[in-house]
Amino acid sequence: MSDKHLIRETIARRAEQEIESGFYVNLGIGMPTLVANYLQKDKQVVLQSENGLLGIGPFPTEDELDPDLINAGKETVTAIQGAAFFDSAESFGMIRGGHIDIAILGGMEVSKNGDLANWMIPGKMIKGMGGAMDLIHGAKRIIVIMEHLSKNGKHKIVNKCALPLTGKGVVDRIITERAVLDVTDNGLKLVEILDGSTISEIQAATEPNLIIEETLLNQ
Amino acid sequence: MKQIHSSFQDAVKNIQDGSTLMVGGFGLVGIPENLLLALVETGVKDLTIISNNCGVDDWGLGLLLKNKQIKKMVGSYVGENKEFERQVLAGEIEIELIPQGTLAERIRAGGAGIPAFYTPAGVGTSIAESKEIKEFDGKEYLLETALTADYSLIRAIKGDKMGNLVYNKTARNFNPMIAAAGKITIAEVEELVEIGQIESDQIHTPGVYVQNIIVGHQEKRIERKTIKQI
């Protein structure tokens, strides 16, 4: 699978399955935002945007365009019927207070114990962490979605993050175009293979030693 | 009741070099556009700016940046600005990056008389360096202190002559907390109405937090226009 678009679609479709009907969901900027495009119609889901909107709707038509209505990625959006607007302190109270069921975020590196690095590359321009550091401590479940390997083929799922951390021990599950991995007390567990690879191929692309889900061993 | 200005130059004329300013807005949404333009004209410098973002190259706080009026920027995300990057790399500007929820709460605390609070955001990261860490129920938290400002510049869609304000959609963002955390708060409103014309139950920011009001026409530039693909 080399096509960038296909990779992103595979990851977004798999990430969508993490969202249950009735959930309040925060989707990070970039690839996580795509997950909304694949939401099953029969699921009732409310999307939270940390700039002060509970109930993000689809992108607007030209007629609906409102400069005062954006998501956290600063894209123009609409609000669903029943949406609520509030200030930033309330928004992060909602997040920190554990009222958001799941946050799906992008990642640069994730370690075997669930440390996440996704906000800064030393030596490059520092853009800022935005709301990521608050989100990872507040949402009930943290899913990181990212490509399995870096552009130059290096491990992104590592024993110890080399990049500055966004948070320690915060990630519950990693979804890549190749696999789904859970952070457990005993280490990183391979729970699904998405691209037809063998277990040893996934292990080769992943730095930490993997615990293998039993159902995968039997295949 | 409140001082109602008719000129933006007049509204910002007391702001001195070296002042600390809080500025409302998220991206370009809910920023006090005309107050910022007036500040560029005054040329006041060595400002410490507390705001979630720092505008874009040619609008909002980016204009103050380009004019080298900012000494220190305190925010959570400053990614959309090439001039910012240049000034940081050249050591011309100080920068303090704060997790967005911590920034919002530090400003809220500043306006609400709470000197400090504990939050989990930043535990185990570089943000925690030199900060007190305390455990509650087996989980670690950082001590973060309140932020206040000499002046707060905010925007609302509607205000009345008692200083009561109403915001529009996601243009509310940091504005209500910033209104309360400034010693002097100047509100740029799109519409100014008579006392009693905003229903008491619909007021977002009570007038006690607002000292100065001015009406301004908003350009409302859009940073990322995204339209439904049909």
Domains by residue range for chain A, with CATH: 3-177 (3.40.1080.10)
**Domains present along chain B, CATH in parentheses:** 3-121+134-215 (3.40.1080.10)
Q: How far apart are CA A167 and CA B128, in angstroms?
A: 11
Rounded mean pLDDT of chain A?
A: 95
| Residues B123 and B168 sit within 8 Å (Cβ to Cβ) | no
Please determine, for residue A3, whether its predicted confidence score (pLDDT) is greater than 90: no
Helix (H) or strand (E) holding A15: helix A4-16
Please determine, for residue B230, whether its predicted confidence score (pLDDT) is greater than 80: no
What type of residue is A111? S
Q: Which two tokens stand for residue A15?
A: 């990430």
Q: What angle do CA A184, A139, B205 make, to 5 degrees?
A: 165
Please determine, for residue A171, whether its predicted confidence score (pLDDT) is greater than 70: yes
How confident is the model at residue A157, as a pLDDT? 98
A56 interaction partners in chain B (CB closer than 8 Å): none
How close A170 comes to chain B (CA, Å)? 11
Please determine, for residue A110, whether its predicted confidence score (pLDDT) is greater than 60: yes
Q: What is the mean pLDDT of residues B174-181?
A: 98
How close A94 comes to chain B (CA, Å)? 10
> Closest to A59 (Cβ–Cβ): which among B124, B126, B226?
B226
A61 interaction partners in chain B (CB closer than 8 Å): 227-228, 230
Interface with chain A: mutation pick from B100, B117, B157, highest number of A CBs within 10 Å: B100
Beta strand residue intervals within chain B, DSSP E: 3-5, 20-23, 47-50, 70-75, 94-97, 116-119, 133-136, 139-145, 149-160, 165-166, 182-193, 212-215
Please determine, for residue A66, whether its predicted confidence score (pLDDT) is greater than 90: yes
Please determine, for residue B35, whether its predicted confidence score (pLDDT) is greater than 80: yes
How close B211 comes to chain A (CA, Å)? 21
How close B25 comes to chain A (CA, Å)? 9
Q: How far apart are CA B96 and CA B131, in angstroms?
A: 14
B224 interaction partners in chain A (CB closer than 8 Å): 70, 73-76
> Closest to B104 (Cβ–Cβ): which among A66, A88, A166?
A88
Q: Given an 8 Å threshold on Cβ–Cβ distance, is A70 in contact with B107?
A: no
Distances B75 to A84, A128, B26, B54 between C-alpha atoms, Å:
25, 8, 11, 8
**How many CA atoms lie within 13 Å of A147's alpha carbon, on the beta-carbon side?**
16
What are φ and ψ of residue B18, in 5° steps?
A: 85, 5
How confident is the model at residue A31, as a pLDDT? 93
Prediction ipTM score: 0.97
Q: Given an 8 Å threshold on Cβ–Cβ distance, is B28 in contact with A74?
A: yes
Residue % of chain B over a pLDDT of 90: 93
| Residues B214 and B183 sit within 8 Å (Cβ to Cβ) | no
pLDDT tens-digit series, residues A12-61: 999 999 999 999 999 999 899 999 999 999 999 999 999 999 999 999 99
- pTM, two decimals, is 0.97
Residue % of chain B over a pLDDT of 70: 99
Q: How far apart are CA B216 and CA B89, in angstroms?
A: 35
B120 interaction partners in chain A (CB closer than 8 Å): 96, 137-138
A20 touches chain B (CB under 8 A): no
How confident is the model at residue B39, as a pLDDT? 98
Q: What is the mean pLDDT of residues A73-85?
A: 97
Catalytic residues of A, by residue number, are: 50
Q: What is the mean pLDDT of residues B209-222?
A: 97
A49 touches chain B (CB under 8 A): yes
What are φ and ψ of residue B168, in 5° steps?
A: -115, 120
Band (pLDDT 50/70/90 cuts) for residue A2 is low
> B225, A1, A209: which is closest to A14 by C-alpha?
A1
How confident is the model at residue A217, as a pLDDT? 87
How confident is the model at residue A71, as a pLDDT? 96
pLDDT tens-digit series, residues B71-126: 999 999 998 788 888 898 899 999 999 999 999 999 999 999 999 999 999 999 99
